[in-house]
Amino acid sequence: MNTQRHSFGDIARRTAFSFFLFSLVLTALLALSWYLLVPELTRVEIGGTVRGLQELKAYKTDLEGQILTMEDQRGSFLLPVNHDLYERLKGLKDERLVFQKLRKEIRQVIVDLIPGRTDIVVISGFYFDATTNIGEIRGEVTNVGPRSMTVLAQFVEDIGAIDMVTNVETSRYTRQEGENGSFYSPFTLRISVR
């Protein structure tokens, strides 16, 4: 057995060229793969266009700019809470709620007028002015025979009993005869609400 000891300097001299050659070949292969292989493997299709790595970076920057522009546009479309237009829109919404509540109450009066029959009161027009809180209902009471005026009077009385109604003005009560011999009572009601 050879028991000679070799110094670190001797080992480094003998392997230095091998390490240098290995490092040179590895660096050349990595450079070739970076310029030839990586661009082919990193191509991505976005929106029907194939883009490389550098193009993707530019595309990302462009998209971020577009997003900021669109967010600014969206922000300009939204109204701040203390804007006067927002206050007017809230007022219009509240006025619509009054109309919807009144309509719901009148429907309930029609349903409760003669239980089981909803074809008694036929409304042909319902107009509501939200600025004055006055509504006008046009229609007729039908399908009750000669009692149409009595049912109309009950209908007007029930509408006057709705909590939100302050006043009901009626047209003259009349009973008319239809073509088929049935009776009906046309009406026009002006309703003031709070």
Q: Give residue-wise pLDDT tens across range 69-114.
A: 998 888 777 766 677 777 788 877 777 788 888 889 999 999 998 8
186/183 Cα distance (integer angstroms):
10
What pTM, to 2 d.p., does this model score?
A: 0.52
Mean pLDDT of 168-178: 89
Mean pLDDT of 23-51: 86
Number of helices (H), then strands (E), in the chain: 5, 7
Beta bridge partners of 176: 184
- Show Cβ contacts of residue 136 under 8 Å, excluding neighbours closer than 6 positions: 125, 126, 127, 128, 188, 189, 190, 191
**Average pLDDT taken over every residue of the chain:** 86
Q: Quote the pLDDT of residue 132.
A: 87
Q: How far is CA 88 from CA 82, 83, 85, 92, in A?
A: 11, 9, 5, 6
Which domains does the chain show, CATH number per domain? 14-76 (no CATH), 85-193 (3.30.1360.100)
